[in-house]
Amino acid sequence: MSSDLHFRTLVDLAGLLEAGRISSVELTQAVIARTREVEPRVQAFNSRDEADAIAQAARSDARRAARRAAGPLEGIPIGLKDVIAVAGQPLTASSRILENFVSPYDATVTQRLRAAGAVLWGRLNCDEFAMGSSTENSAFRPTRNPWDLARVPGGSSGGSAAALAAGEAVATLGSDTGGSVRQPAALCGVVGLKPTYGLLSRYGLIAYASSLDQIGPFARTVEDAAIVLGAIAGHDERDSTSVRAEIPDYRAALKTESGPWKLGIPREYFGAGLDPEIAAAVERAVAHYRSLGCEVREVSLPHTPYCLDTYYIIATAEASSNLARYDGIRYGRRAAGAQDVVDLYFRSRAEGFGAEVKRRIILGTYVLSSGYYDAYYLRAQKVRTLIRRDFLEAYREVDALITPTSPVPAFRLGEKTDPLAMYLCDIYTIGVNLAGLPAISMPGGFTSAGLPIGVQLIGQPFQEARLLALAHAYDQAHEWNRQRPKL
């Protein structure tokens, strides 16, 4: 069989499986072999259970033999960020505090992947509790960018992006609170989708900032992403923030949802700090859409300058409360030698959490404190409403927005030591989370140094079908998504 199975698209592999030209066990073995080969350099995984993956693949082959194959994900190895619960597998959030925790239950998206026949493969590294933009905040190890091992893969879902780019999985899931799927997708040259808030169940996703968190797929192509999204989207009675929305056939919609579209370029997204090569890549994509007959015009999102502040108030406030449960009492790390229960809390959390997590817990605790709530949290919620209104106003004129995903390409490990410099990596992605919108990052070229560039398209609430079709129109017309890193 082909020696590059691990780099094929999901669509290709589904076809090969369907045609009986490969088995899921063969495919899974190929992915495992590739992982063994490159993982010492990439370090995308927190843990892998090869025997379990092979067993799942064998069951998939048996289903296929019995003509009970579930669909395009049947037999496809998919990696999950280590913040999504898989029954019987570790669930660490890349944190010491959960170092030895094994989840007794499946997240809803995990159950849906199982139902779709996917082979659940590995626990992928990330910034601790999904807080960060480089995966350097992982308590265990930093993941490397497959395009340049001296550089970061982005974050927080860096393991999910890097594993896919390196051929260690066919698709992966991440979570996106302020850009944590789209930014690493951009830095690793893959597709990353952040769905509308409420399209997917968060049940079983370790909460960072509940009102912003959303699970999203990484895939080699927009079409692959559409397939994964279709398998995991939809209302879940265990998550009251998940919406009862009709889930269309996203893959079919790539053909039926046709343009021309009206595209908006938010002028606030092209200011100082944007790498010129990235600006040029976005312009190239804009030109392509124009060539397809799309009307492109400049729009304004005037509250963009407040996004970062608003995000770091709301996200940290929610995080300070969400992370309170990690206390060493019921599960997870329990410090030795505590004098009493309060001492146990202090020691366990002091030992268990890393610096960035502590910083955000402290910040979030502060903004919720008596006397500060109105000035910070309440005001941030009001600004959030204005930020969302900006987008909805723009959508009166245009169908979607086109922007850079990240202001800079992959940076070197250790390069950004100032937390604020790191936070600025997310300036183009954060507004989308605050507004609850869907957005996708797709490969849009390479820098002169050979680093991937991501182009972001931002859609309207629950209009993933249209957003994916728009992205597909660019993605399938270019070769960017067929470039592979030389590891």
Partner 1 sequence: MNFEAVIGLEVHVQIKTASKIFTRVAAGYGHEPNTLTDPVVLGLPGALPVMNKAALDAVIKAGLLLGCRIAPICKWDRKNYFYPDSPKNYQISQYDQPICLGGAVEIELPGPSRNVMGEHKRIPLTRIHLEEDVGKLNHGAADSQIDFNRAGTPLMEIVSEPALHTAEEAFAYLTSLRATMVQGGISDCDMEKGQLRCDANISVRPVGETTLGTKVELKNLNSISFVRDGIAHEIRRQIGILERGGVIVQETRDYDGMSDTSQALRSKEDAHDYRYFPDPDLMPVQVDEAWLARLRAECPELPFDRQRRFFAQYQLPYTLTSVLVWDRALAGFFEEAAKAAGPGRAQAVGNWIANDLLRELGAAKRPLEPAKIRPAGIAELVRMVEAGTVLTGAAKEIFVEMFATGEAPAAIAEKRGLKAAPTDQGELERWCREAIAANPKARAEFQAGKDSAINAFKGPVMKAARGQANPKLVDETLRRLLTGP
221 vs 230: CA distance, rounded Å: 14
Q: Which is nearer to partner 1, 213 or 268 (CB)?
A: 213
Q: Please compute, for residue 279, the number of CA atoms within 13 A of its CA located in the half-sphere on the CB side.
A: 11
Task: Verify binding: residue 104, partner 1, rule CB under 8 A.
Answer: yes
Give least dist CB 314 to partner 1, A: 9
Residue 114, exposed/middle/buried by CB under 10 A (0-12, 13-18, 19+)? middle
Give least dist CB 298 to partner 1, A: 34
Q: Which of 138, 156, 157, 406 is catalytic?
A: 156
Q: Which is nearer to partner 1, 202 or 220 (CB)?
A: 202
Instruction: Please identify which residue in 26, 49, 239, 351 interacts with partner 1, judged by CB under 8 A.
Output: 239
Instruction: Please identify which residue in 241, 279, 389, 483 interacts with partner 1, judged by CB under 8 A.
Output: 241
37 vs 403: CA distance, rounded Å: 36
Residue type present at position 332: G
Q: Which is nearer to partner 1, 85 or 254 (CB)?
A: 85
Give the DSSP per-residue string, 400-411: EEEEES-SS-PP
Task: Verify binding: residue 365, partner 1, rule CB under 8 A.
Answer: yes
Q: Active-site residue 180, yes or no?
A: yes
Q: Which of 81, 103, 242, 416 is catalytic?
A: 81
Instruction: Please identify which residue in 25, 161, 317, 465 interacts with partner 1, judged by CB under 8 A.
Output: 317
Instruction: Please identify which residue in 59, 321, 483, 484 interacts with partner 1, judged by CB under 8 A.
Output: 321
432 vs 194: CA distance, rounded Å: 9
Using CB under 8 A, which of the segments 32-40, 61-69, 261-269, 362-370 binds partner 1?
A: 362-370
Q: Which is nearer to partner 1, 17 or 207 (CB)?
A: 207
Q: Active-site residue 358, yes or no?
A: no
Q: Active-site residue 406, yes or no?
A: no
CB distance 112 to 121 below 8 Å: no
The tokens for 181 are 């799927």
* Phi, psi of 264, rounded to the nearest 5 degrees: -110, 140
56 vs 238: CA distance, rounded Å: 26
Q: Which of 180, 242, 406, 441 is catalytic?
A: 180
Contacts (Cβ under 8 Å, ≥6 apart) of 247: 230, 233, 234
Using CB under 8 A, which of the segments 178-186, 256-264, 323-331, 450-458 binds partner 1?
A: 323-331
Residues 367-386 that bind partner 1 (CB under 8 A): 368-370, 373, 377
DSSP 261: P
110 vs 106: CA distance, rounded Å: 6
Task: Verify binding: residue 107, partner 1, rule CB under 8 A.
Answer: yes
Binding-site size, partner 1 (CB under 8 A): 45
* Phi, psi of 361, rounded to the nearest 5 degrees: -65, -45
Task: Verify binding: residue 351, partner 1, rule CB under 8 A.
Answer: no
| Interaction mask 185-224, partner 1, x per CB under 8 A | -----------------xxxxxx-xxx-------------
Instruction: Please identify which residue in 140, 270, 306, 345 interacts with partner 1, judged by CB under 8 A.
Output: 345
Give least dist CB 131 to partner 1, A: 15
Contacts (Cβ under 8 Å, ≥6 apart) of 377: 313, 314, 317, 367, 368
Go through 64-93 and write b for each residue having 16 or more CB atoms within 10 A of its CB, e for each that does not: beeeebbebbbbbbbbbbbbbbbbebbbbb
Catalytic positions, written as ranges: 81, 156, 180
| Interface positions with partner 1 (CB under 8 A) | 83-85, 91, 93, 98, 101, 103-105, 107, 202-207, 209-211, 237-241, 317-318, 320-321, 324-327, 329-331, 341-342, 345, 365, 368-370, 373, 377
